[in-house]
Amino acid sequence: MTDSRIADLQASVPGLRLKTDPADLEHYGRDWTRRWTPAPLAIALPGSIEEVQSVVRWAKANAVAIVPSGGRTGLSGGAVAANGELVVSLERMNQVIGFDAIDRTLTVQAGIPLQLAQEAAREHGLQYPVDFAARGSCSIGGNIATNAGGTRVVRYGNTREWIAGLKLVIGDGELLDVGRSLVKNSSGYDLRHLAIASEGTLGIIVEATLKLTDPPPPTNVMLLALPSFDALMQVFDAFRARLQLQAFEFLTDRALHHVLAHGAQAPFAETHPFYVVTEFASDEASETEALAAFEQCMEAGLVSDGVISQSDAQAAQLWRLREGITESLARYVPYKNDVSVRLSAMPAFLAETQALLGDAYPQFDVVWFGHIGDGNLHINVLKPDDMVQAEFVADCDRVTRLLAERLHAHGGSISAEHGIGLVKKPYLSSTRSEVEIALMRGIKAVLDPAGIMNPGKLFD
């Protein structure tokens, strides 16, 4: 059965590159969640939009589910193929197609890694400002499909803000070209925004036109040590009032512990409960304001120590303390929560969540970090070595249900930036109303009538 479908696909799309080796099925069938056993039918690696369209038409005719696949750095199981799906990897469609100096846009194939898109922008003296640690491996298509955030959102916003236009192959193989890179376009629904954060459930993004902006100023990185969670938002307020922040990120002592164990350099002689990594322009006026904010926070007892980068190398070292966390935890296959609330709700939500998790997980290593300036917390729970994986996940799921209730009460989100995928599907209704979910299903039915685009992700 399996073999005949693959032969049929090959015959229907002559020249299509296909992989079926067990090692390839394993490699392309999973993402960074590592929770599901990969079992794809095959891996298709189209080299052009026309090939993507032909593959989709074949899949529709043969009722074969498709999993669109970028760099598989996703943390929600969106790119997992565990049920005989055809993985459509965009990795061969990885080129810059064009640059427009007047429009300040860069047009790329969707499989291009984020870092290569950033570098292409830099070569033209401009900046593509979305940024995070997976930059070398994740793709622009995956970034768009998850509306990726990252460490610059506090200054530049999410991926959504930077997509001038895109091309999407929908569930019947039709190519939608949406956005047209127009600054202004009040001609009805903006279909571009449906594709953003659609997690591969509406179609395959094959091309994108990225907005570019002025390069960032030369910057300084500051690491602050904080005595308490309560201080976090007050320190953010103090720095935000005086400076245009390029980043405002936090981590706990447990997070620092794991990055240091992974080879990073200790920033202070003593340990502290919380840390903030912030970045701002290195001009004299900004440095003066930063020092004033620091002193103000010290006097108020909100900050207990601080260090400011004296070189690019030191700035990179300080960033490693924040950016290295996910990799340093990977060997534990952590249970991840990626939640957000409005900044105004953050102090109350933080206090409640701390109490909830303190009660729920007295015996687990719970690692907090995230984009606190965006109201976004990452909570990673590490499995004790002697605990069975299924039991661990069931226990964490139970706590996530309680967390989802708290999020619902605060009007927050169960997925701030990683997507719903498989991991957060049971909790979607904590963030989206029944009416919203019904409308999302309706939209999927229109764009993907045969239901072949990443079925079972986001919702059933």
* Interaction site with ligand FAD (CB under 6 A): 31-32, 67-75, 78-79, 90, 110, 132-134, 138-139, 141-143, 145-146, 148-150, 199-200, 204-205, 326-327, 417-419, 421, 454, 457
Residue nearest to ligand 2HG (CB): 326
Smallest distance from the beta carbon of 149 to ligand 2HG, in angstroms? 7
The reply on whether position 73 binds ligand 2HG by CB under 6 A is: no
Considering beta carbons, is residue 138 or 403 the nearer one to ligand FAD? 138
The reply on whether position 380 binds ligand 2HG by CB under 6 A is: yes
Contacts of 181 (CB under 8 A, 6+ apart): 100, 103, 105, 164, 165, 209
Tokens 């953003």: give the residue: 196
In contact, 295 and 243? CB cutoff 8 Å: no
Smallest distance from the beta carbon of 296 to ligand FAD, in angstroms? 29
Which of ligand 2HG, ligand FAD, none sits in contact with 320, Cβ below 5 to 8 A by type?
Answer: none
Smallest distance from the beta carbon of 113 to ligand FAD, in angstroms? 8
Which DSSP symbol is given to 211? E
Q: Please list, residue by residue across 336-349, b when 16 or more beta carbons sit within 10 angstroms of its beta carbon and e when fewer do.
A: bbbbbbeeebbeeb
Look up residue 177 and give its two tokens: 């070209």
Give CA–CA dist 22/151, Å, rounded: 36
Provide the residue type at 275 as one letter.
Answer: Y
For residue 335, give the nearest of 418, 216, 215 by alpha carbon: 418
For residue 81, give the nearest of 111, 36, 45 by alpha carbon: 36
List 30, 135, 336, 432, residue binding ligand 2HG (CB under 6 A)? 336
Which of ligand 2HG, ligand FAD, none sits in contact with 171, Cβ below 5 to 8 A by type?
Answer: none
Smallest distance from the beta carbon of 427 to ligand FAD, in angstroms? 17
The reply on whether position 339 binds ligand 2HG by CB under 6 A is: no
Considering beta carbons, is residue 60 or 336 the nearer one to ligand 2HG? 336
| Strand ranges of the sheet holding 96-100, from the earlier edge strand across to the other edge | 96-100, 105-109, 203-211, 163-170, 175-178
Give CA–CA dist 45/21, Å, rounded: 14
Considering beta carbons, is residue 113 or 370 the nearer one to ligand 2HG? 370
* Half-sphere exposure of residue 311: CA atoms within 13 angstroms, side-chain side: 3
Give CA–CA dist 248/357, Å, rounded: 24
The reply on whether position 242 binds ligand 2HG by CB under 6 A is: no
Q: Which of residues 91-150 bind ligand 2HG (CB under 6 A)?
A: 132-133
Give CA–CA dist 271/125, Å, rounded: 41
Considering beta carbons, is residue 90 or 194 the nearer one to ligand FAD? 90
Smallest distance from the beta carbon of 309 to ligand FAD, in angstroms? 20
Residue nearest to ligand FAD (CB): 142
Give CA–CA dist 452/172, Å, rounded: 9
Give CA–CA dist 170/188, Å, rounded: 19
Smallest distance from the beta carbon of 319 to ligand 2HG, in angstroms? 11
Give CA–CA dist 403/427, Å, rounded: 10
Which of ligand FAD, ligand 2HG, none sits in contact with 336, Cβ below 5 to 8 A by type?
Answer: ligand 2HG
Smallest distance from the beta carbon of 32 to ligand 2HG, in angstroms? 8
Tokens 């984009």: give the residue: 371
The reply on whether position 326 binds ligand 2HG by CB under 6 A is: yes
Which DSSP symbol is given to 453? B
Which of ligand 2HG, ligand FAD, none sits in contact with 42, Cβ below 5 to 8 A by type?
Answer: none
Q: Report the length, in residues, of the chain.
A: 460
Considering beta carbons, is residue 155 or 409 the nearer one to ligand FAD? 155
Considering beta carbons, is residue 129 or 171 the nearer one to ligand 2HG? 129
The reply on whether position 378 binds ligand 2HG by CB under 6 A is: yes
Number of DSSP helices (H) and strands (E) in the chain, helices first: 15, 16
Smallest distance from the beta carbon of 168 to ligand FAD, in angstroms? 7
The reply on whether position 328 binds ligand 2HG by CB under 6 A is: no
Smallest distance from the beta carbon of 7 to ligand FAD, in angstroms? 25
Crossing angle of helices 284-299 and 229-242, rounded to 10°: 150
Residues near ligand 2HG, by CB under 6 A: 75, 132-133, 325-326, 336, 338, 370, 378, 380
